[in-house]
Structure 1
């Protein structure tokens, strides 16, 4: 008597892809992305007194600190823009990138118990993290617009944004992809090297000072500008200021270089993350 062959509805196995990304599978788990998004947003501020008001307090006080330290004491140039607006615009975009990077750097360690019990595409978590950070960015960006309107009516010389403001969604998408890519690299490496969790915050702070957050790209001596061509956060910060305030444009060569670096980092992140997820639960 021959034994009938068992049939399974779903078989989970390696897909044979270089980076192990199954877009169709990710789309089928879109409801899970939404669930993780709500979890991250609710739990982070669940037991706080001020709640989402911290989204407004943090960038406001940080911009004020930069205004005093870099604007008044160090007297750094802001290329003719009001210093507070200059610092605020850099802080808002940089904070979104840093949030994506920091919160994605511990994907395996923070979700070890869940990953060990249930199967779902692991990229669901980094995407949800980027979405939850987008809420904070949206609130802070609205605050920036309100402050900008105040400066316009105060006669500071700032004009209303032109058509370049339509570039803002593309800048957000670019920063989200970059933040996810860098977060995937760090999360994959921290599976074996836990010291990176501690070093990530410090290195991110150094990265910020190597970006045009507190000083404009145009003020950098030409012999040092190559650093900004390797820094994928240089072009989006300067482009945001151009879109909002009509400041000096960004060289096309800077954008091409930044996009190339960001694409490489995102691809490397996908590869490392894909290889790490197969053994992460045995190591974390």
Structure 2
């Protein structure tokens, strides 16, 4: 005798697509985002002597190093811009991108203990990293503004209207770091050694980005290839708008925007797919 087929009265399943960032749900957890941002800020300087002063010391020491190595010894071009300001601009932008990327890339592995105990939108964690690093960027950007105002008063730089695009450039950098970071955070749940490879890769990537040199100094083929680096358009637009020098065109920024949005979409798909099963592999 056949038993009657059992019917489920309720089914629990994911009701969002792989491309869904679940921003409405993240907004409902905005207090948690604030707590994570506060935690990241405090933990960064807990048990340190100088505390937030490191926000200033890091770009200053890095700029001095670049000034000596690449300015005095290698004698790289800065497109007629005062070398101190040129390197400080590159360092300020690069520090924000690299810290965001390295932070978001460890989302699953670094927070596995929390994810295994309570539910909240997993996107809250990488978003909090991007926001907390934005505070660091704001302090370092203030240092850049001080140097910029000094050379502007001396008439050595000539900013232009593209300076209004600065918020858009910062958002693009954040989205780029978020997209690539989500991809690596998903991959490191199975392949943990990728986290070490990423740290090395980020260092190499800096030399492929116009941080310490302008794209105008690159030979023809390399310059065309550099246009497809998503950060090239961002860095060149920033330097062109604030310093009035550089090999910038709106096409470069369009290319950067398109590639970044594509990587963000890929990162979203991978992140949403892995978050459902990552506790089995971490």
Asked if these proteins are the same fold (TM beyond 0.5), I'd say: yes
Which residue matches 1:165?
163
Q: Deviations over 1:201-236 (max 9, x none)?
A: 110011100000011011111111232222101111
Contact persistence 2:237–2:253 (CA under 8 A): no
Match of 2:200 among 195, 199, 202: 202
Gaps in structure 1 of 5+ consecutive residues: 1-6
Match of 2:229 among 228, 231, 245: 231
Contact persistence 1:184–1:270 (CA under 8 A): yes
TM-score scaled to structure 2, two decimals? 0.93
Which residue matches 2:6?
none
1:67-216 correspondence to structure 2 within 5 Å: 67-153=67-153, 155=154, 157-159=156-158, 161-216=159-214
CA positional deviation for 1:165? 2.1
1:225-264 correspondence to structure 2 within 5 Å: 225-248=223-246, 250-264=248-262
Contact persistence 1:82–1:156 (CA under 8 A): no
Q: In structure 2, how many angstroms separate the alpha carbons of the residues matched to 1:236 and 1:134?
A: 16
Q: Deviations over 1:90-145 (max 9, x none)?
A: 11011101011000111111111110011011000111000000011000000011
Secondary structure of 1:233's counterpart equals helix
Q: Deviations over 1:41-86 (max 9, x none)?
A: 1111121111111110011110111111111101111000011111
Secondary structure of 2:230's counterpart equals coil
TM-score scaled to structure 1, two decimals? 0.92
CA positional deviation for 1:280? 1.0
Q: In structure 2, how many angstroms separate the alpha carbons of the residues matched to 1:12 and 1:148?
A: 56
CA positional deviation for 1:237? 0.8
Which residue matches 2:4?
none
Q: In structure 2, how many angstroms separate the alpha carbons of the residues matched to 1:69 and 1:12?
A: 59
Q: 48-57 vs 256-265, which deviates more?
A: 256-265
Root-mean-square deviation over aligned CA pairs = 1.7
Count of aligned positions? 274
Gaps in structure 2 of 5+ consecutive residues: 1-8
Contact persistence 1:178–1:266 (CA under 8 A): yes
Q: In structure 2, how many angstroms separate the alpha carbons of the residues matched to 1:50 and 1:12?
A: 50
